[in-house]
Chains A and B, each alone.
Chain A
């Protein structure tokens, strides 16, 4: 298609326009990229920048009196035992608030405490540290309920039904509020050991987050005492020694206690133990032996626990 030669003079100008437009297009793409980078860049990383990989954080041990720490189930009973096992004139060992059985073992391995208190068996990865486990008491795992709930005549299967949500109310009609512990809690494990169906329901509850979860024994007892219609699993020794204002329903017509445990009429229990590190101090060993000795009998009796 021919055209007047004057059009040929537009060539450089047209080329400049095209180049300018391509530059604008490139700027448009770059602007999008820059905007996206500015929006995403802060905090975009594979992990916390300040985290130093390696051995987990450990506490600094302050040498002085003996320090025992671990499961909340052990705390109340162990404090009573420590008080009777400490020689007169000697410094009373300290029993710290609950850091859990796992936390207690780790603190012991780190050397942050002198003895760990556990309410469950050691895990395989814990055993390889050569720890010494000294069991000193068997405590009933019971249902702790709000003090105002009506009396019930439950069978163990009813406990499964309650945790499965099939009993939404108490016999008087008030709502039944279930409080559960975190997965791996020794009380739940004790019930699950006796009632395989409870284990399935408990796992299901944990996955579905059906009930409100409480992470410490003391917190559970406080919640049960304050929430009308509430119930949860706890141990009888803590209830007895702390004087918790909770009701403890019987199961299958049996009331929990040391006698029922000894007669094997109460199926739910857990063993409380002291864990010592290799080369533990003599006074710690002496203390652990005392927990199993005659000085501990009255305390165990008062706690309605069975000595081991």
Chain B
């Protein structure tokens, strides 16, 4: 298993990189917005008050100017004193009167105590369509600024507390999460290592068991091959006994009955019975031990089967064999021969085929036998006894057998029979 390449997670630094500006935004909003908005609205309110006061004062001054068109400016001290009641108890800090040229009417101005930063606004003094002067009104920003600064301080504390909370809680949770992740990661690593150890042990056990099983399978296969070989030898011996003893005896019996039948024609039936017995013995001998296999070898024996098929049943059979000089075990040859024999018997009995192809080949360490026909195919019918017998023969040697339909019609039987350990081949020739 490929391990992922690992880098530091660093949850807290990553979160801080995002939280710092976010906290700054929240702090700026909470800290500055209320004082700024309050100050803006307060300044607007002060301007309105200043406008109202200035309008009232300008009206009174206009009356004074109207009474003294030339010398009104020398009464400016009194004129400006009119402004004092307006300044009292308000944020108006100063009132100045200037003539049309912008020259102050008096060095002194009403409300001389300049209270902090001032906002100035001017209003013309109009008399008879002319503007002989203008009135300047200053609004003190001291109280508004003090209040705004107090709000800045108060909301600054609030913003700092809120910002600290916003900053601290997620980071604390991130630290906790990182610790938890670290623990989980450690546990995962420990689990992974433990699992890997278990896996290694299991694989070792499986490998050992597999090797053991393979050895047992090999031994079993060897045993099966030997049993098959022994069985074949037994069958050959039995066939030889039948052929040599029973066959010779029956042959001698037939000759005597044939001689006796010449004298007594009623014995003709006995001769026929003996002939039938002789045929039965011969078939039994052939069944027990096909002599062609011993006499001709596997390829030729199978070829003989094909020839017999064509001769006896009129089915065109083509046999191809290329064992590349290999000499399979007797058990393998027996199994291949019997499987080919059973497959051709099935062709005759069930397929209705007109052509049959049989091939033998050595592929790797196995003998491949293929029997194909152009018959009606196997369909979905349940396996018959013949197929089961073929499968068991192949399995007994550790091989496999597949029976299936051929595209376009027909049946294909394919058997793969392991050649086995070369050292054990022909260990028990029949």
User: What residues of chain A have their CB less than 8 Å away from a CB belonging to chain B?
Assistant: 1-5, 7-8, 14-15, 17-18, 21-22, 24-25, 28-29, 32, 35-36, 39-40, 43-60, 62, 69, 96-100, 102-104, 106-107, 110, 112-113, 182, 209, 213, 215-216
- Residue of B14, B20, B36 touching A35 (CB-CB under 8 A): B36
Tell me if B136 and A51 are in contact (CB < 8 A). Answer: yes
A102 to B6, CA, bound (A): 93
- Residue of A5, A18, A112, A213 touching B4 (CB-CB under 8 A): A5
**Minimum C-beta distance from A48 to chain B (A):** 4
What residues on A are CB-neighbors of B25 within 8 Å?
Answer: 21, 24-25, 28
Name the segment of B98-106, B190-198, B294-302, B415-423 touching the other chain: B98-106
Tell me if A44 and B24 are in contact (CB < 8 A). Answer: no
What residues on B are CB-neighbors of A54 within 8 Å?
Answer: 103
Chain B's closest residue to A55 (CB) is B103
B22 proximal to A (CB < 8 A): yes
What residues on A are CB-neighbors of B103 within 8 Å?
Answer: 51-52, 54-57
A153 to B218, CA, bound (A): 154
B380 proximal to A (CB < 8 A): no
Chain B's closest residue to A59 (CB) is B70
Tell me if A56 and B104 are in contact (CB < 8 A). Answer: yes
Question: Nearest 3 CB-CB pairs, A to B?
Answer: A103-B74, A21-B21, A3-B9
**A1-B181, A25-B24 provided; 12 other pairs, C-beta below 8 A?**
A5-B6, A5-B7, A14-B18, A17-B18, A22-B20, A39-B44, A45-B120, A52-B104, A60-B70, A96-B70, A103-B71, A107-B71
**Minimum C-beta distance from B109 to chain A (A):** 10
Mask: chain B, 6-32; 1 = CB below 8 Å from A; 0 = not: 111111001001101110110011001
What residues on B are CB-neighbors of A21 within 8 Å?
Answer: 18, 21-22, 25
B77 proximal to A (CB < 8 A): yes
Chain B's closest residue to A54 (CB) is B103
**Minimum C-beta distance from B301 to chain A (A):** 67
What residues on A are CB-neighbors of B121 within 8 Å?
Answer: 43
Tell me if B33 and A32 are in contact (CB < 8 A). Answer: yes
Tell me if B9 and A7 are in contact (CB < 8 A). Answer: yes
Chain A's closest residue to B117 (CB) is A44
- Residue of A2, A15, A55 touching B185 (CB-CB under 8 A): A2
Chain A's closest residue to B22 (CB) is A21
Tell me if B36 and A2 are in contact (CB < 8 A). Answer: no
Tell me if A18 and B98 are in contact (CB < 8 A). Answer: no
**Minimum C-beta distance from A35 to chain B (A):** 6
A24 to B20, CA, bound (A): 12
- Residue of A51, A58, A60 touching B102 (CB-CB under 8 A): A51
Tell me if A50 and B134 are in contact (CB < 8 A). Answer: yes
A99 to B136, CA, bound (A): 22
B264 proximal to A (CB < 8 A): no
Mask: chain B, 64-105; 1 = CB below 8 Å from A; 0 = not: 000110111111111001100100100000001011011111
**Minimum C-beta distance from B167 to chain A (A):** 13
What residues on A are CB-neighbors of B9 within 8 Å?
Answer: 1-3, 7
**Minimum C-beta distance from A49 to chain B (A):** 8
B283 proximal to A (CB < 8 A): no
- Residue of B11, B32, B76 touching A29 (CB-CB under 8 A): B32
- Residue of B40, B68, B98, B106 touching A50 (CB-CB under 8 A): B98
A21 to B119, CA, bound (A): 36
A197 to B18, CA, bound (A): 75
- Residue of B21, B75, B98 touching A103 (CB-CB under 8 A): B75
Tell me if B68 and A97 are in contact (CB < 8 A). Answer: yes
B342 proximal to A (CB < 8 A): no
What residues on A are CB-neighbors of B88 within 8 Å?
Answer: 209
Tell me if A50 and B122 are in contact (CB < 8 A). Answer: yes
B178 proximal to A (CB < 8 A): yes
B53 proximal to A (CB < 8 A): no
What residues on A are CB-neighbors of B350 within 8 Å?
Answer: none
A103 to B78, CA, bound (A): 9
A40 to B141, CA, bound (A): 10
A14 to B32, CA, bound (A): 28
What residues on A are CB-neighbors of B14 within 8 Å?
Answer: 14
Can you list 6 residue pairs at the A/B interface with Cβ under 8 Å? A1-B10, A18-B17, A21-B25, A40-B40, A44-B119, A52-B103
What residues on B are CB-neighbors of A45 within 8 Å?
Answer: 118, 120
B182 proximal to A (CB < 8 A): yes
What residues on A are CB-neighbors of B73 within 8 Å?
Answer: 56-59
**Minimum C-beta distance from A126 to chain B (A):** 13
A52 to B134, CA, bound (A): 13
What residues on A are CB-neighbors of B29 within 8 Å?
Answer: 28
- Residue of B40, B81, B101 touching A36 (CB-CB under 8 A): B40
Interface residues of B in 118-147 (CB under 8 A from A): 118-122, 134, 136, 141
B112 proximal to A (CB < 8 A): no
A57 to B178, CA, bound (A): 79
Tell me if A2 and B78 are in contact (CB < 8 A). Answer: no
A17 to B29, CA, bound (A): 20
B43 proximal to A (CB < 8 A): yes
A24 to B18, CA, bound (A): 12
A2 to B7, CA, bound (A): 5
Tell me if A112 and B43 are in contact (CB < 8 A). Answer: no
What residues on B are CB-neighbors of A112 within 8 Å?
Answer: 70-71, 74
Tell me if A56 and B21 are in contact (CB < 8 A). Answer: no
Tell me if A1 and B11 are in contact (CB < 8 A). Answer: yes
B324 proximal to A (CB < 8 A): no
Tell me if B85 and A3 are in contact (CB < 8 A). Answer: no
A56 to B98, CA, bound (A): 9
A44 to B107, CA, bound (A): 22
**Minimum C-beta distance from A33 to chain B (A):** 9
What residues on A are CB-neighbors of B182 within 8 Å?
Answer: 1
What residues on B are CB-neighbors of A107 within 8 Å?
Answer: 71, 74
What residues on A are CB-neighbors of B33 within 8 Å?
Answer: 32
Tell me if A182 and B119 are in contact (CB < 8 A). Answer: no
What residues on A are CB-neighbors of B32 within 8 Å?
Answer: 29, 32
Tell me if A39 and B39 are in contact (CB < 8 A). Answer: yes
